[in-house]
């Protein structure tokens, strides 16, 4: 008797053979099949455990996206919907990933194989924790922060000595910013150990909060060996830290899910390395799929690249990334879509026009640290740019109005980072 619960996947495939056959071969490889019929592959077993090709939509002839052991000239492109019995997978995330995005990328008869979309049964979602904080929990920890949250990255991202680090954090903490984060490259180096960074940053933030009354969250990068993961988390929490960060694609989704089990603070999910299995259009998985897995595993904040960024995804794709994070998934709170790379006062306008939400964390490096009037002015300029974007006021008008009212931060930012002459 076949369990009606299935994991439904949409793949983009290319093959020289009939796409129906190619999809069936892939579905077999990823469930009960093998290359040669073997004893034991009984009708009972097939009926209950074989993945099934639900539909194949041909997209026409193309040049092959990927190399294979036998070169092809033209290949047939198709979208194939395949259903995997949930019974094969259970509720384990690594098993899910092995099934829907494992050996299938190896198959020589496929000249493209990309997991475009996934639909998980309720029972699968219900077996996972999801984000413990997400948007609402993060806002609460930030003193019920309203609107777009503004964050920044410690720069230079490597090499700061302890005393230099202290001065950088001090100035940022006093800028009434919402979040400061380690760079993804900054983990636990001998010249500035995590333990010292945590001690210094929490001390400076406490001190700054006495003056500003504005809570600041620091996302400490606890990426590193798994044997020490819990210890590094505990170090942050015991010092009063309010957020930990993980380079999710490098640590793996199982590491994120494990951290979620004991983390007392939000998990800032960095995507370093993700493009290595996402950027080639005919290979790997889409952001739409990956973010669902990362949400299941418990990420509270997830990087989406940024509109106007220096990264490869177009603004349209980045906006789709943001929207995908805000789509419901089970009963979990949504994670905070985290914009990064090349963010400054010119990007809120197009971003708000594209996504129509302020449930965002915008990370700006240079636009905060290198603002001509200092980081506090940098943060003010970004908040003002967001207010203008939401109100539909052009940046230039908002900048001049604010300057006339005594705050030239936006005007100076616009002149420094672009957007204003």
- Span near a copy of itself by CB under 8 A; candidates 143-151, 197-205, 305-313, 322-330: 305-313
Instruction: State which of residues 58, 106, 119, 162 lies at the interface with a copy of itself (CB under 8 A).
Output: 106
Nearer to a copy of itself, 145 or 244 (CB): 244
**Of residues 89, 145, 150, 173, which one binds a copy of itself by CB under 8 A?**
89
Stretch near a copy of itself under the rule CB under 8 A, chosen from 74-82, 157-165, 212-220, 349-357: 157-165
Q: Give the span between the Cα atoms of 192 and 35, in whole angstroms.
A: 53
Among the candidate windows 7-15, 88-96, 208-216, 388-396, which touches a copy of itself by CB under 8 A? Answer: 88-96
Q: Which of 15, 78, 83, 88 lies at the binding interface for a copy of itself (CB under 8 A)?
A: 88
User: Could you say which of 187, 202, 291, 381 contacts a copy of itself (CB under 8 A)?
Assistant: 187
- The secondary element (H helix, E strand) that includes residue 81 is strand 75-85
Window 378-417: residues binding a copy of itself (CB under 8 A): 417
Which residues in the 19-58 window bind a copy of itself by CB under 8 A? 30-41, 45-46, 48-49
Segment 323-352, which members bind a copy of itself (CB under 8 A)?
341-342
Cross-strand pairs, 270: 247
Task: Choose the stretch contacting a copy of itself; rule: CB under 8 A; options: 212-220, 251-259, 331-339, 396-404.
Answer: 251-259
- The SS3 call for residue 266 is coil
User: CA torsion, points 393, 394, 399, 402, in degrees to nearest 10?
Assistant: -10
Site for a copy of itself in 115-154 (CB under 8 A): none
Report the residue number, 97 or 141, with the smaller CB distance to a copy of itself.
97
Residue 372 binds a copy of itself, judged by CB under 8 A: no
Q: How far is the CB of 274 from a copy of itself (least distance, A)?
A: 8
Q: Which of residues 160-179 bind a copy of itself (CB under 8 A)?
A: 160, 164, 167-168
Is 28 or 136 the residue whose CB approaches a copy of itself more closely?
28
Confirm if 352 and 339 have CB atoms less than 8 A apart: no
Length of the chain (residues): 421
Helix axes 395-404, 409-417, angle to 10 degrees: 140
The dihedral through the CA atoms of 414, 358, 250, 289 has a sign that is: negative
Closest CB 69 distance from a copy of itself, rounded Å = 5
The torsion angles phi and psi of 376, rounded to 5 degrees, stand at -65, -40
Task: Indicate whether 252 belongs to the interface with a copy of itself (CB under 8 A).
Answer: yes
C-beta neighbour count of 392 within 10 angstroms: 9
Binds a copy of itself (CB under 8 A): choice among 17, 312, 353, 394: 312
Provide the terminal-to-terminal Cα distance of the chain, rounded to the nearest Å: 70
Q: Tell me which residue of 178, 152, 163, 240 sits closest to 203, measured CA to CA.
A: 240
- The reply on whether position 370 binds a copy of itself by CB under 8 A is yes
DSSP lists the bridge partners of residue 110 as 15
CA distance 240 to 259: 18
Q: Which of residues 197-236 bind a copy of itself (CB under 8 A)?
A: 223-227
Minimum Å distance from CB 358 to a copy of itself? 24
- Told to check if 14 binds a copy of itself by CB under 8 A, we report no
Q: Which two tokens stand for residue 171?
A: 């100035």
Where b means 16+ CB within 10 Å and e means fewer, 164-192 reads: ebbebbbbbbbbbbbbbbbbbebbbeeeb
- Give the E-state strand segments of 319-408 in sequence order: 336-339, 361-363
Q: Which of 146, 141, 142, 182 is nearest to 165 (CA)?
A: 182
Residue 154 C-beta: closest distance to a copy of itself, Å: 9
Cβ distance to a copy of itself smaller for residue 12 or 417? 417
Taking alpha carbons only, the member of 129, 171, 375 closest to residue 263 is 129
Q: Which stretch binds a copy of itself (CB under 8 A): 14-22, 134-142, 270-278, 405-413?
A: 270-278
Rule CB under 8 A: say whether 276 interacts with a copy of itself: yes
**Alpha-carbon torsion angle 363, 260, 335, 85, nearest 10:** 130
Q: How far is the CB of 43 from a copy of itself (least distance, A)?
A: 11
CB of 102 to a copy of itself, least distance (A): 4
């Amino acid at each position: 008797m076949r369990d009606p619960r299935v994991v439904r996947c949409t793949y983009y495939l290319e093959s020289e053979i009939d796409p129906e056959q190619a999809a069936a071969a892939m579905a077999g490889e990823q469930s009960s099949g093998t290359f040669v019929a073997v004893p034991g592959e009984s009708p009972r077993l097939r009926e209950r455990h074989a993945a099934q090709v639900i539909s194949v939509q041909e997209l026409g002839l193309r040049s092959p996206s990927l190399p294979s052991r036998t070169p092809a000239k033209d290949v047939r492109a198709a979208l194939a919907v395949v259903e995997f019995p949930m019974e094969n997978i259970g509720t384990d995330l690594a098993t899910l990933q092995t099934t829907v995005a494992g050996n299938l990328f190896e198959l020589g008869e496929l000249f493209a194989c990309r997991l475009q979309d996934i639909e998980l049964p309720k029972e699968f979602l219900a077996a996972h924790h999801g984000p413990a904080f997400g948007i609402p929990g993060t806002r609460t920890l930030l003193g019920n922060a309203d609107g777009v949250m503004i964050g920044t990255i410690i720069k230079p991202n490597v090499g700061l000595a302890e005393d230099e680090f202290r001065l950088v954090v001090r100035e940022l903490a006093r800028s009434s910013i919402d979040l400061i984060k380690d760079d993804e490259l900054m983990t636990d180096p001998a010249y500035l150990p995590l333990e010292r960074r945590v001690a210094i940053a929490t001390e400076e933030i406490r001190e700054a909060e006495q003056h500003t009354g504005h809570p600041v969250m620091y996302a400490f990068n606890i990426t590193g060996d798994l044997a020490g993961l819990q210890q590094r988390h505990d170090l942050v929490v015991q010092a009063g830290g309010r957020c930990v960060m993980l380079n999710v694609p490098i640590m793996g989704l199982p590491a994120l899910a494990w951290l979620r089990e004991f983390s007392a603070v939000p998990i800032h999910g960095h995507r370093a390395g993700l493009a290595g299995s996402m950027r080639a259009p005919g290979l790997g998985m889409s952001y739409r799929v990956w973010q669902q897995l990362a949400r299941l595993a418990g990420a509270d904040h997830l990087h989406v690249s940024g509109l106007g960024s220096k990264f490869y995804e177009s603004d349209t794709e980045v906006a789709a990334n943001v929207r995908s994070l805000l789509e419901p998934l089970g009963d979990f709170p949504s994670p905070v879509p985290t914009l990064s790379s090349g963010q400054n006062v010119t990007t809120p306008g197009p971003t708000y026009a594209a996504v129509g939400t302020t449930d965002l964390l915008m990370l700006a490096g240079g636009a905060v640290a290198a603002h001509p009037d200092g980081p506090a002015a940098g943060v003010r300029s970004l908040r003002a740019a967001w207010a203008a974007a939401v109100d539909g006021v052009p940046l230039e008008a908002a900048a001049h109005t604010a300057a006339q009212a005594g705050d030239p931060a936006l005007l100076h930012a616009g002149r420094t980072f672009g957007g204003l002459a």
